[in-house]
Every structure is written in structure tokens, then in C-alpha cells.
């Protein structure tokens, strides 16, 4: 079949899946460090950085996380009978993906917008740190699910 696992089409979808995950989640690991470094350096650099992060979260990270999950679902469908959407690990991965989108769209993006408009505050800092930690944990759990496919 044209779209079966191991075909060029499947490999392209897999490549796009991995690339969109990188675009969506690399900032989760880098941004907390950058925010601390820029704040420690003082000046207006921190504020400009947060404004850029908020814009990128809206334009890049959020759409990439959505597309990454949809491509993952497409890969399951393309795998024919090798993997099913009804397998426990696939269902768990989808649930975690939905939660990760909730964290990004409902916690991180609003906190970045608030910091960009009003400056850093202990409340927004805590929300950003918690959101980054939750996304990192979600990403790690998803990797475990995809690599070991428990119950698959």
C-alpha cells in the first residue's frame, strides 16, 4: 500500500511528526533557563525575550504541538494492523497529548502574555515553571509509551 508502515509516505509522516515535536517542545527545556539568565542580566532584555516567547508560543509552539499529535495519530492509522487506536498505550499517549495542549494553551501561553504585558511576577513565574515541568514530564511519558508500547 502507498501509505503503509515502512513506505516513503509513512517515513515522511514520521519525520514530520518528530520535527513538529522538536519545534513544539524544545522551548520547554530552553525558555526557563533563558528567562532566568535574562532577568539576572537586568535591563529590558528580559521583557523583550518574554514578548518574543509569547508570540512564538502562539505562532509556532502551539500549532506544532497540535500537528505533532495529529501526525502521530496518522502514523497509527497508516501502520495498518501493527498498531491500533484502541491499544492502551496509544489511548494514554493521546490523553497525555490533550493534557499537554491544555497546559501549553491554558497555563504557559497566558502566563507569557501576562509577563510580556505586565512584567515578571512571582505568580506568572510559578505558572511558567509548573507548565514547563508538566510538559517535560508529559513528553517523557510519551517517549516511554512510544518506545516500549506497554500492553501493545
pLDDT averages per 10-residue partition of the chain, 152 residues: 82 97 94 87 83 95 98 94 93 98 97 90 94 96 96 80
pLDDT for the residue numbered 1: 64
Q: Rounded distance, CA 114 to CA 104, Å?
A: 14
pLDDT for the residue numbered 102: 98
| C-beta of residue 133 within 8 angstroms of C-beta of residue 71 | no
pLDDT for the residue numbered 119: 85
Beta-carbon contacts of 57 under 8 Å, excluding residues fewer than 6 positions away, are 27, 104, 108, 109, 112
User: CA of 146: how far to CAs of 5, 94, 104, in Å?
Assistant: 15, 11, 21
Amino acid at each position: 500500500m502507498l501509505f503503509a508502515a515502512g513506505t516513503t509516505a509513512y517515513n515522511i509522516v514520521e519525520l514530520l511528526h518528530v520535527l513538529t515535536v522538536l519545534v513544539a517542545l524544545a522551548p520547554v527545556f530552553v525558555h526557563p533557563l533563558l528567562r532566568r539568565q535574562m532577568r539576572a542580566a537586568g535591563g529590558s532584555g528580559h521583557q523583550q525575550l518574554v514578548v518574543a516567547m509569547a508570540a512564538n508560543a502562539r505562532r509556532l509552539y502551539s500549532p506544532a504541538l497540535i500537528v505533532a499529535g495529529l501526525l502521530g495519530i496518522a502514523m497509527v492509522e497508516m501502520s495498518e494492523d501493527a498498531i491500533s487506536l484502541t491499544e492502551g498505550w496509544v489511548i494514554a499517549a493521546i490523553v497525555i497529548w490533550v493534557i499537554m495542549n491544555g497546559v501549553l494553551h491554558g497555563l504557559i501561553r497566558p502566563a507569557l502574555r501576562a509577563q510580556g504585558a505586565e512584567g515578571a511576577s512571582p505568580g506568572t513565574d510559578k505558572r511558567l515553571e509548573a507548565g514547563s515541568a508538566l510538559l517535560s514530564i508529559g513528553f517523557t511519558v510519551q517517549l516511554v509509551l512510544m518506545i516500549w508500547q506497554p500492553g501493545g
